[in-house]
Structure 1
Amino acid sequence: MLGTIIITIFILGPVGVLSQSAENNSISERIIGGHSAAEGQFPYQVSIRVNGKHECGGSIISSFWILTAAHCVARYPLGVLLVVVGTNHVKLGTPYGVAQVFVHEQYESQTKINDIGLIKLAGRINFNAKIKPIQLSTSLQPPGTSCVLSGWGFTNVQTQTIPDSLQYIGMRIVSVERCRAAISAAGLNMPVVDTQVCAFNAPGRGACNADSGGPLVCNGVQYGIVSWGNPCATGVPDVFTSVAANRKWIAIKSGV
């Protein structure tokens, strides 16, 4: 799971095995080792598509606004973007055009610091059992908190397979200190700062390309946005943009 954008870093990875080195330093974003979601299980999940192809995940935060990662939308003109809601299937759903895109003013494309963006839709979303907004966090969660990550990221790194069915995986919050140590041990020259959150499952289970921008949800509240990881599911923590740390920015831009 994670965005189809492959940058110099990977968007998600487990936090537990700190001794395992990465095979390469490219960053990715997708879900590896997950499960197929039931219909309506993640009603806030959206697919962000570029020229009709799934590129990233995102979350519904109101009837007009979608929360995602900056790197998912920063380089694209509005005309090629489409947001699809209300489905577990990557080729189905209800599409919405994009009216505006906001990228954090201090977003750093190389380090992925402040990797947060907002999409204002051209039309109002009609909520139902399969389409609902997610509550946003205003505080941090302690290490060990159980969370869930959902998305249509790669399920196989070698074949770059995007699943038809929405995938999900359980993860636990990891301390910034442990996350930094794991990333350093993997040979990745990437900072982890206080405006980011790390989470982990196990080697072979984590985010991957095309999961980028998707929501990390703990107890029904969104705490993170998929940003980067060591591709894919190599035993290194996945890194998310903290929703709580950016709650004021979200409110200023969207009114949510």
Structure 2
Amino acid sequence: MRNSLWLAVLALFALASAGVTNKDLEEDAKKAVIFDVEDVTKEYTLEALVADANYTETEIFLSNLESTTNSGAVSTAAKPIYHNGTEDKRILGGTLIDDAALLVAPLNSILFVQTKNAAGIVLNNCGGVLLSSIWGLTAAHCVALATTINVYGGQIADPTAGTPTSRAKAIIHPNFRLNFLTDNIALLNILTPLALGASVAPALLSLAKPATLDNMVFTTLGYGLADDNVFDPAAATLSHVNMQNMNKLTCNQQTLGIFVTYPANTGCLSTAGGTKGICKVDPGGPVFHTGPNDDVGKIIGINSQIVGCPRQEPSSFTWINPYIKWIQDKTFKKFT
């Protein structure tokens, strides 16, 4: 039966692909400006794939097909994409940071990262984390296609107010692959050193090993989106949330039902049944862990993928531990 399901998936994707013409590609190339028509390919992040209409139709088709097999009749109730039928692109179940006095360590290491292409079109709004006045970290997919990277720090709301805090160059991990979000981590070399202070301060990297951290509570934060369709920085606010680090095997069992397996060197944050979690604009931001000998939280990971928001399935983050040597080799600093 499973083979027949996959044949159905392939058939649907073949039909969807057949609708893309050369004229469509040429129009897309004109909008992007920097792409040559022959080189245009549609690359999906996991989040974009789940939001894609063709994927949604496939999931509904498989849900109906399985209902037919089990009961002999096609169910009219399609499998929902979102846990409660809505899509709220904000940090869920968290605490609003509505006073600068609340932006304390390690939360004051948060960065807002906005990237643009050669035409000045915004590609991504993401989170990031500060390691020093000239170094930071983010998710590689946030900066992979960018020609301009603007970095902002120290804001609890409206993160892009005024002029950019600084421009940055990205150093993307050499094993990163956009379509699969493997090794989804990048260094930010901040060209104009940030002025450090109470609201802008670096965080340290945690040396804790992932195998020892199952079911531990981590903290993450981000700006989220102001509405379902268009991110408006002027309306953005900063929130933080505590989430449980899931056992990876348990995580994979939960995402298998939507045909997702998070790659190696990633951990999973439980959404507590879709009541808390990161959403769009939050990937790239830090995940903190406070060890038994730590005064404040240290960076244990970088938020990577979500499959919807709110969603029952966990989100993923890139563990820092496997990349500490790479970070040291590129920056000549330890940050631990």
Q: Deviations over 1:76-97 (max 9, x none)?
A: 01xx321011111124377333
Identify unmatched segments of 5+ residues in structure 2.
Answer: 1-42, 49-78, 83-87, 291-296
TM-score (norm 1): 0.82
1:206 partner amino acid:
G
> Could you tell me whether the CA contact under 8 Å between 1:60 and 1:67 is conserved in 2?
yes
Corresponding residue of 1:32: 92
Corresponding residue of 2:332: 255
Structure 1 residue 47 and structure 2 residue 112: aligned? yes
Structure 1 residue 70 and structure 2 residue 140: aligned? yes
Corresponding residue of 1:112: 181
Percent of matched pairs sharing the same residue: 25
1:184 partner amino acid:
L
Bigger share in helix: 2
Corresponding residue of 2:315: 238
Alpha-carbon distance in structure 2 between the residues aligned to 1:76 and 1:237 = 28
> Could you tell me whether the CA contact under 8 Å between 2:151 and 2:168 is conserved in 1?
no
Q: Kindly tell me: are residues 221 and 22 of structure 1, through their superposed partners in 2, closer, same or farther at Cα, counting changes over 3 Å?
A: farther
Shift of 1:215: 0.5
1:33 partner amino acid:
G
Residues matched between the structures, number: 235
Q: Kindly tell me: are residues 72 and 61 of structure 1, through their superposed partners in 2, closer, same or farther at Cα, counting changes over 3 Å?
A: same
Corresponding residue of 1:130: 199
TM-score (norm 2): 0.64
Corresponding residue of 2:149: 81
> Could you tell me whether the CA contact under 8 Å between 1:46 and 1:84 is conserved in 2?
yes
1:46 partner amino acid:
L
Provide the secondary structure at the position in 2 that maps to 1:179.
helix
1:115 partner amino acid:
N
Shift of 1:239: 0.4
Alpha-carbon distance in structure 1 between the residues aligned to 2:250 and 2:139 = 23
Shift of 1:50: 2.9
Alpha-carbon distance in structure 2 between the residues aligned to 1:182 and 1:84 = 35
Q: What are the residue-to-residue correspondences of 1:54-203 with 2, within 5 Å?
A: 55-77=125-147, 80-89=148-157, 90-92=159-161, 95-138=164-207, 139-140=209-210, 141-154=212-225, 157=228, 163-185=235-257, 187-188=258-259, 190-202=260-272, 203=274
> Could you tell me whether the CA contact under 8 Å between 1:10 and 1:230 is conserved in 2?
yes
Corresponding residue of 2:81: 23
Q: Kindly tell me: are residues 85 and 210 of structure 1, through their superposed partners in 2, closer, same or farther at Cα, counting changes over 3 Å?
A: same
Shift of 1:184: 0.3
Q: Deviations over 1:75-120 (max 9, x none)?
A: 001xx32101111112437733334210110101111110000110
Cα RMSD of the aligned pairs, angstroms, is: 2.7
1:198 partner amino acid:
C
Alpha-carbon distance in structure 2 between the residues aligned to 1:114 and 1:91 = 28
Q: Kindly tell me: are residues 36 and 94 of structure 1, through their superposed partners in 2, closer, same or farther at Cα, counting changes over 3 Å?
A: farther
Q: Which has the higher contact order (CA 8 A, sep 6+)?
A: 1
Alpha-carbon distance in structure 2 between the residues aligned to 1:228 and 1:192 = 8
Provide the secondary structure at the position in 1 that maps to 2:253.
helix
Alpha-carbon distance in structure 2 between the residues aligned to 1:103 and 1:70 = 6
